[in-house]
Structure 1
Amino acid sequence: MPSKPAPIKKAAKKEPAKKEEEKAPEPAPEPEPAPAEAAPAPAEEAAPAPAEGEAAPAPEAAPADAAAPAADGPAEAPAEAAAPAADGPAEAPAEAAAPAADGPAEAPAEAAAPAAEGTAEAPAEAAAPAAEGSPEAPAVADAPAPAADEAAPAAESETPAEGEAAPEEPKPPTPPPPPPKEPTSAPLDLFVEDKNDTSVTIIWSQPEVIGVSGLDGYTIEICKEGTEDWKAVNEDLQKSCRYVIKNQTTGDRLKIRVVAVNEGGRSPPVALPEPVLVKEVADRPKVRLPRFLRQRYVAHVGDKINLTIPFTGKPKPVVSWTKNGEPLDTKRVNIRSTDRDSILFIRAAERDDSGVYEMSVKVEDFEDKASLTLQIVELPGPPASVKIADVWGFNVALEWTAPKDNGNTEITGYTIQKADKKTGEWFTVLEHYHRLNATISDLIMGNTYKFRVFSENKCGISEDATVTKDEAKIQKTGIDYKPPEYKEHDFTEAPKFTTNLSDRATTVGYSTKLLCSVRGSPKPKIEWMKNQMIIGDDPKFRQICVQGICSLEIRKPGNFDGGVYTCRAKNDHGEAIVSCKLEVKQPINPDAEKK
């Protein structure tokens, strides 16, 4: 904090200000300009106004705002610079509002404040900024300004008195400049995905470093081998990481590179290590014969044949067909080939279309083959001959030979039929018969028979049959039939009870039944007895015997119907007896017990 200036001896009232300038000390070396943000000195520390008749004191140091002119804007004279003193008029010198020569400056309020009491003449040097190089510049302008760090604490620690101006607020800090826009790093992993005779397909990966500017797209550039004339092949930036370079000349060798583009500019390029030959990549041909064609393919005469055999290979393989080692008859067989498969088509198959067909696909020096066997079949012909080999009793022996035409497939069996000469109707005797001879039996004596044989293959039975030229007649012969004598089995048996009677108990008035079973041959006679007395035809008892089951029903027995009951079975071979006890109880009368 700057010290107060020392008082100066009084001078004559009418002595001009020039004498005060002569008494001022020599100017000190120019100090470094104080920062603009330095706080102004408080009003109490400003130089006191001289009393009447006294010379103005020379300040030791003026505030930075009062001594150093502002570099930029116009000088703004504060209202306080021209304000009169509180108790008496004051003459504001012209120098108090004069702007600095080097630049505008803002005079602080404290520099032009009038004295608190009494009339005083504010010296021009105290309020006006010094003009550099001006002869009228006072010595105060050359005084060193206090450092900003010395003035700032004073402004913070001391509160300005009433009537004094408040210190200026600090300005907000200036934001840092935006970072410069930079291009991305080079794209990665560039390689050729596919190519053919007129185009090349490339793919790549995006750059590892993209930055804040983002990625706008890619530029694909090419040039022929041996030159450096790079040309972009895409008019607009390519967004995806795949591009097809089209409309190229077959046989050219192209150098290819890719550049990433954003607001920062072009990235370093990524290029293929070797030039690319514009020519379709040769891929070994391969015939992919379907599973059902790996075995013999059988079709009937008249069927439509449509066989598709796929294959692979690049460029498009050359397809050729042969049948049994010879070129195909294009009038009978049509071949249609595409880039991926070949079709063998026959509108209506014939027996002559059977054979081994071979398909060959060739790409440059590479070749692959596959063969399929086509068999066109139909119904077989009848057996070549059928004859009656022998006749005996009720039997006829037949023999025949295989058919001359088997329908282009093996014979699976034969069907034999017979017909009686009287009726002429054919009846099947044997079918699916595999041998070339058979014996027909169970023929009727006195009848005459004819026989015929059909051939059979996987297509079915032959339409025609071969009939025997001769007939087989079953002769009648004298036969004396004597039936065999059989000894009759003796089934006679004495009676035997298989189920015995069981003891029973019943109540007076409630019917009951006794049961048993007996066997014997001849059928035994059944008798029921009560206490060794034959019951006979007593209506109180009902006797039944069916299929060896014997029953005796006692209807509403009384007190005297209890006793021993016996069943006796008797035939010519013996008899058998079985007995049981029957107890007849009195009913319980609850009322009688109470009495």
Structure 2
Amino acid sequence: PDSTDADGESITINWAPPTHDGGNPVQYYIVERREKKTVSNPSNISMPIKCAEPTEEPDGPSIINVTDTTNTSVSLEWTRPGYDGGMEVQGYIIEMCKATEEEWRRINEDLCTVTKYTATGLETGAEYKFRIIAINAIGKGKPKEISEPVKAVDRLTAPEIEIDASFQQTHIVKSGGSVCLRIAFKGKPAPSASWVKVDGELGVMADVTTTENVSCLTLENCTRNDSGKYTLALENSSGSKSTTFTANELTDPIIATAEPAPPKRLDIIDTTDSSVTFAWLKPEHDGGSRITSYCIEGKAKGTDKWVVAGTTKNLTHTVERLTEGTEYEFRVKAKNDAGFSEPKEAFSSVIVKEPRIEPTADLSGITNQLITCKTGASFEIDVPFSGRPAPKVTWKLEEMRLKETDRFTKLTVLDTTIDDSGEYTLEVKNITGVITEKIKVTILGKIMP
């Protein structure tokens, strides 16, 4: 077609008829149009997008903790959302407002891709509220707010000593050798550190080096005079803390005992929504001295720092106060007088969650699932059951609900009458499923003379 006229609102076009009408006269013409478009310069590169079926926005972070404060800053750490909406969480928005206000403002220009952030430039002594929003490819999740406002002040804490699980309270050193007692600590304001020998004075070869968070006592060219107990004392305006170590010098260069072998295995035997229970076997050899304890260490999967999760003299241990839905790795070490063994790691990581087990009920104690009772007497139906999470139990007589509980399956009926006869239904239900069992009860009437 050709354009014969055009203005700001219309265009007139004309065209020649088809050279061939297909054997029938042309009845009418259909005119179509479309916008003429060109390609612009490319936009900025998007965030990486995972190819997955989208569902919805993520939940908010599970837990938010205030890890530190100063006169001008607040440091936050949080756990990832329990549900990511079906798409990978791309990052987090941190918002803040003063405690007396409700106008939230974003304080991180770029998405925070890690689960910690420090808000700076705050007003000294002012109280602030913070909330964190997780974002995936669908959009923003619901904000998660800290439990209470936090004040921008220097946090004063009493001294704390940070001893690694492998650190030995007793050190055995050869005659003429050296030993270094290196202790990490923390506290605000920074504590002062001092070393003393419990039953005497520090030797002339003793050297003490202290920084803001580490103090080290080094004993060179040890003799019997260097044997004894050494105490590190820490003190600041918030409190004090001390710990004592023993150094034993041996003229014989051969140490009587060695570290034990690792425990033979580490099994995960149970989980809940906040704990994991482990069991392990004794080491193949104890290194020449009795095993005194076991140390369990754990870390969130994907992190590097192992932390002590518990110590015990038993071959089982439950680690509690874990975050539901988080995946952890664990290991165990044996300890004797010479020190710790190499760690034995669990075969796989474990996700902290309540196991799901379908409910079951045991009616083996009720013969033929039939109970017979005389009028005026009483009868009892007691059925053991199991399931995870703990099932809800409902009793019905015919279609009338009698009792609902999540702890017991015992039903007691006193002073029975004929009306108590019938079919009793037991329903045991949790999120994994439901089972029903039927028990027939017959009440025998009194025999008339």
Q: Give the shorter-chain TM-score range.
A: 0.3 to 0.5
Specify which structure has the higher proportion of strand: 2
Higher alpha-carbon Rg: 1
TM score, norm. by length of structure 1: 0.27
User: Greater relative contact order: 1 or 2 (C-alpha under 8 angstroms, separation 6 or more)?
Assistant: 2
